[in-house]
Amino acid sequence: MAQNKLGTFPGGLKLAGHKHRSTQEAIQKAPLSKQLILPLQQHIGAASTPIVAVGDKVLKGQKIARADGHVSVYLHAPSSGTVSAIDDQPIPHPSGLSALCITIDTDGEDRWIERAPISDITTLSEHEIRQLIREAGIVGLGGAGFPSYIKLNPGVHHHVETLILNGVECEPYITCDDMLMRERAQGILDGLEIMQYALRVKNTVIAIEDNKPEAIAAMELALASRANIKNTNVVAVPTRYPAGSEKQLIQVVTGKQVPSKGLPLDLGIVCHNIGTTYAIGRAINNGEPLISRIVTVTGKNVKKPGNFETLLGTPMHELLAFCDTDRKADDPFILGGPMMGYNLSGDHLPVTKTANCILVGVDDGAPASTPMPCIRCGDCAEACPASLLPQQLYWHARAKDLEKTQEYNLFDCIECGCCSYVCPSKIPLVHYFRFAKTETMTQQLETQKSDIARVRHENRLSRHELEKQEKEERQRQRKLALAATKAAKEKEAAQSPESGKED
Ligand code: SF4
Ligand code: SF4
C-alpha cells in the first residue's frame, strides 16, 4: 500500500461501527419477488418517463423509462414479466409521499434481453462511454443518486488530475461496499479502468477506512494482478465519521479543501463510490444495466443480517422476511445509517438504486428525549466537519430567517448529524437545517416562477403595445394612401379637357 501523506478535516466523531454483525456471511442473492415496484424518480434530477404501457411484456434489462432532460437516466426491468400498473405508489422518501411507479408482475423466468457487452473500450469515444453509462441507468450508489455519466464529464474547461474511489463507508452498520470490495475487487477494477478512460485521469486513489483490513487486502491483491492499471494506489484513511463524505474525503486524501459553493472538479478531483464503479464495469463489460444493488440488512432485530444482492423494486418486507426480522412497531426502521438515514414510513416500500442499508433496531439507541434549551456550550461547532456554526444556524433556522442561514453557509451543511449527536440539550439540529434548506429552495423556486411570470406579463404588455402601434401606423398609412388617391383623382379631374365644358 503506497500511503500518501494524509490531510485531515475539522470536527467529526469516533463512532461505534456495529459492522461485524453483517459481515459474517458472503453476499447472498435475495429471492425474486412476484412483484417489483419501480419509482421513476430514483436519482437526483428529473424523473424518467415511462416508455411501456400496462399489459406490456418486458424482459430483464429492458428499458422501461427513458431519461428526461440532462440530469436524468434510464430505468430498466429488473426481471422478465408483465407491466401491471403505472400509478402512484408509496416510495422511500423522508416525506413519506407517493410518486409515479411502474409495477412489474414477474414471470419467474428471469429472462434477459439480448445484451451487448463491449470487449474493447478503446473502440469507443469518451462521449460514447458516458452515453452507455447513462443508458444503463447508473447513478451514485453511495446514497446521493447523482447521475454518474455527468460526473464522468469534466467538460472542456476542467482537467481531472485525481480520481478518488470512495470505499470509506463511514456510517455505522452499513457494510455493502466493504463486502463488495472483499468479494468483487476485480469487478470494481473493471469499472475503474472505464472511468480512468472516460476521464483521462492522471492518478487514482482507492480510499478505504482502516477498519476494513479485508477490503484493503482484497483491493491491493486485485490491483497487483492488473499491470495495465497505472498510477493507482490503495490508501487507508483513519476511521472517523464522516470521512466518507465527499468534501471531507478529499481533504483527507489530498489535503485540499473544496471551497464553499465550489465543486471537487474545481480542484481537478472527481469522486465515485465503490458500488457505482462496480456497476459501471458490469454495464460496459457485460452489457448489464443497473437492475440490482447490494443492500445491507442489519440491526438489533434482524436474526440473519448480511448483505443481499437485491433486484430494484423488491418490497422491503420480503427482504426483511428473508433475513428473519422481528420488526416491532416502535423499532427504529431506517433507510441508510443511523446518522444520515431517515425513518421509513412502512415496510412495503421498494428497494431503490440508493437503498444501501435497511436498519431495524439499533444497539445503543437512547430513548427519545425532549429537547432542552440551547446552553451555548459550543460542542456542536467543535464537532462540525464543515467548520460551520450549528448553534447560530439553529437560531436563524428556528426564527425562519432564511437570509441569515445563507450568510452562515447553510448549504455547506452535509447533514452528517455530528452536531445533533453531541448536543447535550438533544436539539435535533439537522432537522432544522433540512427544513431551512427545503424552505429556501421552495422560496427560490417560487421567486424563479414569479420572475418568469413577471417577464412573460411584461413581454405580453409590450407585444400588445407593439401590435397597437403597428395597427395605428397601418391605419395612418391607409388614410394617407386614401387621401393621396383622392387628391390625385381630383387633380386628374381638374386637368381633364372635359372639365369646365357645359352639357
Ligand atoms: S449536520 Fe451540518 S451543521 Fe451539523 S455537524 Fe454536520 S455539517 Fe455541521
Ligand atoms: S451543542 Fe446544543 S446546547 Fe451546545 S451550543 Fe450547540 S445547540 Fe446549543
- Per-residue pLDDT reduced to its tens digit, 132-173: 999 999 999 987 789 999 999 988 778 899 999 999 999 999
Predicted confidence at residue 194, as pLDDT, reads: 97
Q: Which atom of ligand 1 is nearest to the CA of 415?
A: 1
pTM of the model: 0.87
Ligand nearest to the CA of 426: 2
Predicted confidence at residue 501, as pLDDT, reads: 47
pLDDT at 78 over 70: yes
* Residue 353 · residue 139 · CB < 8 Å: yes
Instruction: Give 298 Cα–ligand 1 centroid separation in angstroms.
Output: 26
Question: CA nearest 202: which of 161, 158, 164?
Answer: 161
pLDDT at 6 over 70: yes
Predicted confidence at residue 67, as pLDDT, reads: 92
Instruction: Classify residue 85 by its DSSP letter.
Output: E
Q: Ligand 1 within 6 A of 379 CB?
A: no
Beta-bridge mates of residue 311? 292
pLDDT at 304 over 50: yes
Read off the pLDDT band of 237 (50, 70, 90). Answer: very high
Burial 401-419 (b: 16+ CB within 10 A, else e): ebebbeebebebbbbbbbb
Q: How far apart are CA 138 and CA 153, in angstroms?
A: 14
Question: Among the listed ranges 83-97, 111-125, 164-178, 377-391, which one has the minimum average pLDDT value?
Answer: 83-97
Mutation probe of ligand 1 site: the residue of 13, 429, 431 with most atoms within 8 A of C-beta:
429
* Residue 166 · residue 271 · CB < 8 Å: yes
Ligand nearest to the CA of 392: 2
Domain annotation for the chain: domains and CATH numbers: 20-33+125-322 (3.40.50.11540), 371-478 (no CATH)
Instruction: Give 403 Cα–ligand 1 centroid separation in angstroms.
Output: 18
Predicted confidence at residue 503, as pLDDT, reads: 42
What does the block give as the cell for 275? 458500488
Q: Which atom of ligand 2 is nearest to the CA of 377?
A: 4
Instruction: Give 489 Cα–ligand 2 centroid separation in angstroms.
Output: 95
Predicted confidence at residue 365, as pLDDT, reads: 62
pLDDT at 502 over 50: no
Q: What is the mean pLDDT of residues 48-76?
A: 95
Q: How far apart are CA 501 and CA 503, in angstroms?
A: 6
What does the block give as the cell for 250? 478529499
Q: How far apart are CA 418 and CA 273, in angstroms?
A: 22
Read off the pLDDT band of 446 (50, 70, 90). Answer: confident
Q: Ligand 1 within 6 A of 413 CB?
A: yes
Predicted confidence at residue 368, as pLDDT, reads: 64
pLDDT at 44 over 90: no
Predicted confidence at residue 498, as pLDDT, reads: 60
Q: How far apart are CA 482 and CA 20, in angstroms?
A: 97
Q: Work out the number of other CB atoms within 10 angstroms of the CB of residue 377.
A: 13
Predicted confidence at residue 494, as pLDDT, reads: 84
Instruction: Give 412 Cα–ligand 2 centroid separation in angstroms.
Output: 19
Which residues surround ligand 2 with Cβ inside 6 Å? 374-380, 390-391, 394, 423-425, 427
* Residue 21 · residue 40 · CB < 8 Å: no
Q: How far apart are CA 62 and CA 243, in angstroms?
A: 37
Instruction: Classify residue 123 by its DSSP letter.
Output: G
Predicted confidence at residue 140, as pLDDT, reads: 94
What does the block give as the cell for 113? 434481453
Q: Whose CA is nearest to atom 7 of ligand 2?
A: 391
Q: Ligand 1 within 6 A of 430 CB?
A: yes
Q: Ligand 1 within 6 A of 422 CB?
A: no
Instruction: Give 94 Cα–ligand 2 centroid separation in angstroms.
Output: 25
Predicted confidence at residue 366, as pLDDT, reads: 60
What does the block give as the cell for 388? 460551520
pLDDT digits (tens, 9 = 90+) for 379-425: 999 999 999 999 999 999 999 999 999 999 999 999 999 999 999 99
Q: How far apart are CA 143 and CA 336, in angstroms?
A: 8
What does the block give as the cell for 173? 452498520
Q: Whose CA is nearest to atom 2 of ligand 2?
A: 423
Q: Ligand 1 within 6 A of 427 CB?
A: no
pLDDT digits (tens, 9 = 90+) for 330-372: 888 999 999 999 999 889 999 999 999 999 998 876 656 788 9
* Residue 177 · residue 206 · CB < 8 Å: no
- Say which amino acid occupies 204: T
Q: Whose CA is nearest to atom 3 of ligand 1?
A: 390
**Nearest-5° Cα angle at 93, 88 to 97:** 40
Q: What is the mean pLDDT of residues 245-253?
A: 96
Predicted confidence at residue 261, as pLDDT, reads: 83
Q: How far apart are CA 308 and CA 302, in angstroms?
A: 13
Predicted confidence at residue 497, as pLDDT, reads: 67
Question: Among the listed ranges 284-288, 309-313, 463-467, which one has the minimum average pLDDT value?
Answer: 463-467
Predicted confidence at residue 45, as pLDDT, reads: 85
Instruction: Give 425 Cα–ligand 2 centroid separation in angstroms.
Output: 7
Predicted confidence at residue 51, as pLDDT, reads: 97
Q: Ligand 1 within 6 A of 61 CB?
A: no
Mutation probe of ligand 1 site: the residue of 171, 245, 340, 418 with most atoms within 8 A of C-beta:
418
Mutation probe of ligand 2 site: the residue of 408, 425, 426 with most atoms within 8 A of C-beta:
425
3-state helix, strand, coil in the chain (%, to 5): 35, 20, 45
pLDDT at 178 over 70: yes
Predicted confidence at residue 367, as pLDDT, reads: 59
What average pLDDT is seen over the chain? 92
Question: Among the listed ranges 168-177, 234-243, 398-407, 486-495, which one has the minimum average pLDDT value?
Answer: 486-495
Burial 425-462 (b: 16+ CB within 10 A, else e): bebebbbbbbebbeebeeeeeeeeeeeeeeeeeeeeee
